[in-house]
A and B are shown apart, each in its own frame.
Chain A
Amino acid sequence: MLVLLEDEKMLADSASELLSSVSPVSQQRALRDESNELGFYPEVWQQFVEMGWTAIPFAEELGGLAFSYKGLTAVFEQVGRHLTASPLLSSIALCGSAIECCASAEQQNAWLPELIAGEQRYAFGFDEQMFHDIDHMAITAEVTSDTVVLNGQKTMVMDGVGADAYLILVKQKDGFDLYRVPSDAFGLSCARVNMIDSRNYANVTLQHVTLPIAAKLNETTLSQETIQAVLDVGRVCLAAELLGISEQLFATTVDYLKTRVQFDVPIGSFQALQHRAAWLFTELELSRSCVLNAAISLDEFKAGHISAHKLSREVSLALYKVSTMTDKVTTQAIQLHGGIGVTDELDLGLFLKRARMAQCQLGDRDFHQLRYARTIIK
């Protein structure tokens, strides 16, 4: 069903309510103005934990709620609308899913409950270049019988500053390996990278980091499909966040069209602007269908009802559509506000900057278009 069910709607409503009170957009501005190293407020993160949002997709035995990804993405839509900074994407959607998907039962029991409880926070290092690409990596892992030595660098690690541990992705000849590296491991260094959205990104350097072999999550090599399916969880969350950002910007813009008067009439009575607004509305609605569909696909994939191949198509469709739409909405939001639209006084710029980063983080438009194309043409 491409609609939110009753309990999913309740979840979205409670997220909207909580974020309006504990995390108004002014917080994002404050994080930026004070050059906050962490890029989010731990008190707000604590609220996420208390609301149970960190537990949403995980099995009950591990402290999870066994609720749907569709529900989780409904929360992300609200996160986008309120421009809330939190490690929900990095620590829960990405690292949590990676552990659930790739780690041994013993490791899951050891790590996931702490992650869900917010006692530990993980960050995921996968990219090494200045764009999303896990097919080309320089990092190496030398495995002996009981240790592994990691050498290399990961870049744009989301919420890398201050993380308790990192999941580090290593490309092998025929797949991938995944290692858990505590942040205090000898040889690991972490440097903040300042990006336009003022969120937390880090370059993580590993120089002869030596770990017990138990740091490895997977017993057998992870396939491209497995890793992509983990990243797809993050992708759908990003798509939902972008949808929320665009909804908020669009609503603000339509309000402005109704109130700003020039030539003695509200500017929203000019047909040229009405048509632009109407087109943005259609693009928003088309994207919303795709995001819902991608979220449902995550649940269906987890339940074994669809293939990783189909999942990748539905997810890339969502990010492509939402990203294309967000470009239009952000540009028009500023244009239709006129001069005040380019000032820092309005929140438009904060939304724009977060959107642009989100549009890059797990594959840009071009990436997803090609990925979609490959799923239909071999």
Chain B
Amino acid sequence: MSLDDFRQDTRKWLATHCPESMRTAIPEGELVWGASHVEFVNDDQKAWFNAMRDKGWFCPDWPTEYGGGGLDPAQQKVLEQELKAINARPPQINLGIWMLGPVLLEYGTEAQKQRFLPPMARGEVRWCQGFSEPNAGSDLASIRTFAEDKGDHYEINGSKIWTSYGDKSDMMYGVFRTDKQVKHAGISLFVLDMKSPGITVRPIDLIAGKSAFCEVFFDKVKVPKDNLIGAVNQGWELAKKLLQHERISMSKFGEFTLPNHFSLLPAIREYMATRKANLDASLPQQAFAAMMDEHAFNLTAQRMKDEMIAKQSNPGLMSIMKLVHTEQEKHKFELLLDLLGYQALGQSGAPFSEPQLALTKGWLTSFTTTIAGGSSEIQLNLIAKRVLQLPDAKSGG
């Protein structure tokens, strides 16, 4: 089939199968998570989920034998364009497909692919990621949770932390220590059933309130041998691959989960009106400076795209985006609080509006953004080393 035919077919198919209500920005509460038990808030969600699932388009580029859509890269791009053109919501969110899937395709045994990929592709399994541990954050390779070879199985003891939706997931993929003598070369990648005896999951309360993040404790958890992905002690290599996929899918994810965009301008206007302040008062000045910084960031994001199109990509630019964006957002929340006074400090109920309470929560949540996903300090280390090629410090990542 020619690419044009494919585009026409896809367009037609989407016209009939993507419900109107699924062509709008997705509110945070309406994300659909693929899982053994999927919760839908309405029939349109379900119809859209089922239609995309049956097409194999949860993972359009995977081979059809594993439940994928079997599309080539050009076709996949067309599909993405067509989905974007009608502003289609993602039919489901699934860490398995985005992160583990590609690694399984590359490193899994045939039996593992047959076992894990098709249910993943049907959105029947919810996956969580077990990487960080209480003593292994920025320095992930210092994980200690041990998977001991017991002959016919592995036994895991220890704990994971920050496992998103650990309490709601069916399966976990994670890195565990299989050799205590060496650091990076003593780590292996496993998948395991969250219902295994010996696993306890405890959600973490954040300063922002209830969260999706959990602690996961392992007490003599038995894991079958064929749940090891790749070779023993190959885990660090595979984890780095996984994190690459994380970065790619996070950037896709980011496009549709940033609707709670808080803007400084209305807060500045209100401040100036209620406090009889001029444009050049200290706080409005700081807020305008922050708006300019945001404007500069948006232009830089645009430049990054343009450089890609012009084939002039500069990796240095990529490396500053997370750092700048999260630091700017955090600062913006501080300014919003400064501008809005008590209005931004409500816990619940009257006289606070929903947006005001959301702002307060957004502020408290913003602290996590400069820590998770490589803290700002780690980003600065990376820029200094990879981009500026400054010499290594005596210790530290």
Judge whether A373 and B394 touch: CB under 8 Å.
no
B288 within 8 Å of A by Cβ? Answer: yes
Whether the Cβ atoms of B300 and A278 lie closer than 8 Å is no
Q: In the complex, which residues of chain B have a beta carbon less than 8 angstroms from the beta carbon of A1?
A: 306, 309-310
Give every chain A residue within 8 A of B394 (Cβ-Cβ). Answer: 265, 269
Q: Tell me the complex Cα distance, A290–B298, Å.
A: 10
- Docked-complex contact B384 and A275, CB < 8 angstroms: yes
CA distance A271 to B280 in the complex (A): 37
Q: Indicate whether B324 reaches chain A with its CB closer than 8 angstroms.
A: yes
Is the CB–CB distance between B393 and A278 below 8 Å?
no
CB of A303 closer than 8 Å to a CB of B: no
Q: Which of B288, B293, B391, B392 contacts A373 (CB 8 A)?
A: B288
Residues of A within 8 A of B381 (CB): 271, 274-275, 278
Contact A286 B297 (CB under 8 A): yes
Say yes or no for B243: interface residue by CB 8 A criterion: no
Judge if B323 is at the interface, Cβ distance under 8 Å: yes
Partner of B296, one of A268, A270, A290, A374: A290
The reply to whether A374 and B279 contact each other, CB–CB distance below 8 Å, is: yes
**Is the C-beta of B202 less than 8 angstroms from some C-beta in chain A?**
no
Inter-chain contact A285/B292, CB cutoff 8 Å: no
Per-residue A-contact encoding for B269-289, CB less than 8 Å = 1, 0 else:
100100000011000110011
Q: Which residue of chain A is the closest to B309 with respect to CB atoms?
A: A1
Tell me whether A317 and B396 are in contact (CB under 8 A).
no
Residues of A within 8 A of B307 (CB): 2-3
- In the assembly, what is the distance between CA of A278 and CA of B289, in Å? 21
Q: Judge whether A281 and B300 touch: CB under 8 Å.
A: no
Indicate if B320 sits at the interface (CB-CB under 8 A).
Answer: yes
> A268: which B residues are within 8 A, CB to CB?
384, 390-391
Q: B384 contacts which chain A residues (CB < 8 A)? A: 268, 271, 274-275, 277-278
- 1/0 per position for B185-205, CB-CB distance to A under 8 A? 000000000000000000000
Closest CB in chain A relative to B81 CB, distance in Å: 20
Most buried by A among B279, B295, B381: B295
Which residues of the other chain, A, contact B180 by a CB distance below 8 angstroms? none
Instruction: Check B388–A281 contact: CB distance below 8 A.
Output: yes
Most buried by B among A1, A254, A257, A278: A278
Interface mask (B139-172 → A, CB under 8 Å = 1, otherwise 0): 0000000000000000000000000000000000
Tell me, yes or no, whether A359 is within 8 Å of chain B by CB. Answer: no
Take A270-B393, A271-B393, A290-B296 as given contacts and tell me if A285 and B302 are in contact as well, using a CB distance cutoff of 8 Å: no
- Which B321-366 residues sit within 8 Å CB-CB of chain A? 323-324
Give chain B residues whose Cβ lies under 8 Å from the Cβ of A275.
Answer: 377, 380-381, 384
Are B279's CB and A277's CB within 8 A? no
Docked complex: A267-296 residues within 8 A CB-CB of B: 268-271, 274-275, 277-279, 281-282, 285-290, 292-293
Please give, as numbers and ranges, the residues of chain B lying within 8 Å of A293 by CB-CB distance.
299
If A269-B392, A281-B387, A290-B296 touch, whether A2 touches B302 (CB-CB below 8 Å) is: yes
Residues of A within 8 A of B296 (CB): 286-287, 289-290, 317, 321
Q: How far is the CA of A370 from the CA of B306 in the complex (A)?
A: 30
Kindly list chain A residues whose C-beta atoms are within 8 Å of the C-beta of B324.
282, 286
Whether B383 pairs with A3 at a CB distance below 8 angstroms is no
Please indicate which of the listed interface residues B268, B288, B299 has the most CB atoms of chain A within 10 Å of its own CB: B299
The chain B residue with its CB closest to the CB of A251 is: B388
> A2-B302, A275-B377, A293-B299 are known contacts. Are A258 and B391 too (CB-CB below 8 A)?
yes
Dominant secondary structure at the A interface: helix
Q: Does B182 sit within 8 A of A, measured CB to CB?
A: no
Q: Which of A265, A274, A277 has the most CB of B within 10 A?
A: A274
Q: Please indicate the chain A residues that have their CB under 8 angstroms from the CB of B393 in the complex.
A: 269-271, 274
Whether the Cβ atoms of A2 and B280 lie closer than 8 Å is no
Question: Counting CB contacts under 8 A, is B208 at the interface?
Answer: no
Q: How far is the CA of A7 from the CA of B268 in the complex (A)?
A: 43
> A282, B323: Cβ atoms under 8 Å?
yes
Could you tell me if A289 and B320 are in contact, using CB atoms closer than 8 angstroms?
no
Tell me, rounded to whole Å, the shortest Cβ–Cβ distance linking A161 to chain B: 36
Give, as a whole number of angstroms, the nearest-CB distance from A32 to chain B. 31
B325 to chain A, nearest CB (A): 11
Q: Which of B292, B297, B396 contacts A320 (CB 8 A)?
A: B292
Flag if A281 contacts B320 (CB, 8 Å).
yes
* Given A258-B391, A279-B380: A2 touches B299 (CB 8 Å cut-off): yes
Please tell me if the beta carbons of A377 and B268 are within 8 angstroms of each other in the complex.
yes
Smallest distance from the beta carbon of A74 to chain B beta carbons, Å?
14
A369 on the B face (CB < 8 A): yes
Query: Is the CB of B291 closer than 8 A to any CB of chain A?
Result: yes
- A166 contacts partner chain B, Cβ-Cβ < 8 Å: no
Contact of A3 with B310 at beta-carbon distance under 8 Å, contacts A281-B320, A285-B300, A286-B296 already known = yes
Does A187 touch B at the CB level, under 8 Å? no
Q: In the complex, A1 Cα to B309 Cα: how many Å? A: 9
Tell me the nearest residue of chain B to A321, going by C-beta: B296
Residue of A nearest to B308 (CB): A3
> Any chain B CB within 8 A of the CB of A105?
no
Question: Hey, which chain A residues are within 8 Å of B269, CB to CB?
Answer: 377
Please determine whether B390 and A254 come into contact, CB atoms closer than 8 angstroms. yes
The one of A278, A321, A369 in contact with B388, judged by C-beta atoms closer than 8 angstroms, is A278
A5–B385 Cα distance when bound, in Å, is: 30
CB of A298 to closest CB in B, whole Å: 15
Q: Do residues B279 and A373 form an inter-chain contact, with CB atoms below 8 A?
A: yes
Min CB gap B339→A, angstroms: 13
| Bound Cα distance A370, B379 (Å) | 32
Q: Which of A201-260 contact B (CB under 8 A)?
A: 254, 257-258
| Cα–Cα distance between A292 and B312 once the two chains are bound (Å) | 15
* Chain A residues within an 8 Å CB radius of B247: none
B310 / chain A contacts, CB cutoff of 8 Å: 1, 3, 5
Q: Across the interface, do A289 and B388 meet the contact criterion of CB distance under 8 Å? A: no
Q: Does B316 contact A (CB under 8 A)?
A: yes
Q: Write the nearest CB–CB distance from B212 to chain A, whole angstroms.
A: 30
Among A279, A285, A287, A376, the residue within 8 A (CB) of B317 is A285
Q: Is B303 an interface residue (CB 8 A)?
A: yes
B265 located at the interface, meaning its Cβ lies under 8 Å from any Cβ of chain A in the complex? yes
The answer to whether A269 and B316 touch across the interface, beta carbons within 8 angstroms, is no
Chain B min CB distance to A262 (Å): 13
What residues of A have a CB within 8 angstroms of the CB of B295 in the complex? 290, 317
What are 23 A-B residue pairs whose CB atoms fall within 8 Å in the complex?
A2-B306, A3-B310, A5-B310, A254-B390, A258-B390, A265-B394, A266-B390, A266-B391, A274-B380, A274-B381, A275-B384, A281-B387, A281-B388, A282-B323, A287-B296, A289-B300, A290-B299, A317-B295, A320-B289, A321-B296, A372-B291, A372-B292, A374-B279
Since A286-B320, A288-B303, A372-B291 are in contact, a sample of 11 more A-B pairs with Cβ atoms closer than 8 Å, ordered by chain A residue number, is: A1-B306, A268-B390, A271-B396, A278-B384, A281-B316, A281-B388, A285-B320, A292-B299, A370-B280, A376-B291, A377-B268
5 A-B pairs closest in CB distance = A274-B384, A2-B303, A278-B383, A289-B299, A268-B390
